Amino acid sequence: MNKSNYDKRPGVNISAAERDCALGWHEILEDLKPHAGARRIAIECFHGVQLEPLRRELVSALSPELVLVSADAMLPAETIEAKFAAMLGDDPVFGRLNWATLEEYFDAAKIADAQRVAAEAKGRVVAIGVGASILLPDWDLLIYVDVARWEIQQRQRRGEAPSLGLDNAAESAAQLYKRAFFLDWRAADAKKHELFKKVDFWIDGNIPEQPVMVSGETMRSALAAVSRQPFELVPYFDAGPWGGQWMRKQFNLPDGPPNYAWCFNCVPEENSLILRFGTREFELPSLTLVHEYPEALLGADIYKRFGAEFPIRFDFLDTIGGGNLSLQVHPLRAYIREQFGMEYTQDESYYMLDAAPGAEVYLGLREGIDREALAADLRAAQAGGADFPAEKYVNEWPAKKHDHFLIPAGTIHCSGKDGMVLEISATPYIFTFKLWDWGRMGMDGRPRPIHIEHGLKNIQWDRTTEWVKENLINEDRPIASGEGWREESTGLHSLEFIETRRHWFTVPVQHNTEGNLHVLSLVEGDAAIVESPTNAFRPFTVHYAEAFVVPAAVGAYTIRPAAPASKPLATILAYVRKES
């Protein structure tokens, strides 16, 4: 297996002029000098931003008469916890998706007091923190400080990012993530969207001691441009109890973690986006692009159907040299709506990017199984009894490179060991019901959460061997061909809203979004070039296994081998089927 040129820090070239952004506190303060007359300055922050460097370097340099810290005006921690307890529930993984506002975290009387004191101040007033714009709604200058989701997760693991309004940084990373995912980030995202067109300056707070700043106008024009050209998101890699070694070798990843189980490489809810100004980088959550330019990115039909949500997800699951994933099932659409407030569910598929000899995928139930016995064996195993005999109840299918296994919600499944999966799925956040985890512990040495009762309510008992064989494995259908290329459909199943097409080619292949979001990955070959037939965007190079987005607004584009090809390259393309 040869190492690829997989780009672990892809970015979008916005400008060749490095000084279109400010790097470091010295340049940031220089760029703020023309606003020396601003008397009311709000420094609005996303949840997880480190405030101390901002206070030390930015607030002190502004020499304010009065500093308002947003956390001081929040409700007491116990009140916040009680207020949102029903939304979060007591499950260690799941909450109910909700859209609480930042204002709901604050004490109205404390806000009124802060605004009164600010009005009485004769000199400069600075408000800082999550919700700073609430304390100082009549700002003269609005600065927004942002941070990537993955960086927040690292801070949670290090005990540096407590939940919003709480002093709970010592809680488990899983609990901090759950609360952020279902509550805090939703509220902060809504406030960011409300302020987006009003922000004067945007600061990248991912490296607190070396921030990067662009003007609000530069940010808005940059994201508008990104929404109309192909681009990649910044992938991140994480270890897991079943993780393998394929990605470490293939992508030249660091030796520190024991394995690499996951790679989120095209999940805008989680990944970030890098804007490049010469050699300088500005990193922000890619979800901001989705929220602010949804129609150009997604297309009018998808935007109308899903709202400002990115419905397609690409990620990697590596079990080569590792173990089986947890045996699991995803909720049916009616169930996820009723239980968790989501309008669609995680229909998915496993595209085998690679597979070692003997690799298998567990998919669907065996014929004639006793569902009561299955349920009893799952419960007994979870209670510490004998291991669950998965092979007694679940089909084991041989898996080889380029096989495609389709997994509509309600289908019991998991990847076995020695597979390298490109998971192509819908993006309904984190709703996976684990049924059996092979008796192992999580990376923290604790049992992983299991959701047998949720799972049993969603298993489709008629998806048995023959039905699975006929409907869910390698649905390859020829679509079109020409000299040097061919197109085939590999799924997904008609129960799922995503369609996938694979193109094999040694010559340029014509594509057209036709107003529909496209997400692709190069699944065979070293590198390919994505081009516009009308020079609407600069040629874009993708390498083996990289995922990339082609916004709906792009329209026509071509993909060709980066070098003369003696063997066909291949891309896998996913898009949302039009509603009939």
Class (C level, CATH) for 477-576: mainly beta
Give pLDDT, residue 297: 98
Q: Identify the three-state secondary structure at position 290.
A: helix
Q: Is 145's pLDDT higher than 80?
A: yes
Tell whether omega for the bond before 435 is within 30 degrees of 0, i.e. cis.
Answer: no
Q: How are beta strands 141-146 and 201-204 bridged, if at all?
A: parallel
CATH 3.40.50 domain span(s) along the chain: 15-225
Tokens for 458? 């969603």
Give pLDDT, residue 429: 64
Q: How are beta strands 360-365 and 413-415 bridged, if at all?
A: antiparallel
Q: Is 3's pLDDT higher than 70?
A: no
pLDDT digits (tens, 9 = 90+) for 515-535: 999 999 999 999 999 999 999
Mean pLDDT of 570-574: 98
Where are the extended beta strands (E) located within 330-476? 348-355, 360-365, 394-398, 404-407, 413-415, 419-426, 433-436
Q: What's the pLDDT band for 445 if we cut at 50, 70, 90?
A: confident
Q: Is 1's pLDDT higher than 50?
A: no
Q: Which residue has the tokens 């192509």?
A: 424
Mean pLDDT of 203-216: 97
pLDDT digits (tens, 9 = 90+) for 316-363: 999 999 999 999 999 998 999 888 877 778 889 999 999 999 999 999
CA 185 – CA 504 distance, rounded (Å) = 41
Q: Provide the percentage of residues in the chain whose pLDDT is more than 90.
A: 90
Q: What is the 3-state secondary structure (H, E, C) of 104-150?
A: HHECHHHHHHHHHHHHHCCCCEEEEECCHHHHCCCCCEEEEEECCHH
Q: Is 11's pLDDT higher than 60?
A: yes
Give pLDDT, residue 20: 97
* Amino acid residing at 5: N
238-471 CATH pick, 2.30.42.10, 3.40.50.410, 2.60.120.10, 3.40.1390.10 = 2.60.120.10
Q: Is 379's pLDDT higher than 90?
A: yes
15-225 CATH pick, 2.60.40, 3.40.190, 3.40.50, 3.20.20 = 3.40.50
pLDDT digits (tens, 9 = 90+) for 489-502: 998 888 889 999 99
**460 vs 493, residue with greater confidence:** 460
Q: Which residue has the tokens 């990289």?
A: 546
Contact 548, 334 (CB under 8 A): no
Give pLDDT, residue 504: 98
Q: What is the mean pLDDT of the chain?
A: 95
CA 182 – CA 499 distance, rounded (Å) = 29
Q: How are beta strands 527-531 and 498-505 bridged, if at all?
A: unpaired
Q: What's the pLDDT band for 428 if we cut at 50, 70, 90?
A: low
CATH 2.60.120.10 domain span(s) along the chain: 238-471, 477-576
State the first-to-last Cα distance of the chain, in angstroms, to the nearest integer: 44
What DSSP line would sit under 162-195, residue for residue? PPTT---TTS-HHHHHHHIIIIIHHHHHHHHHHH
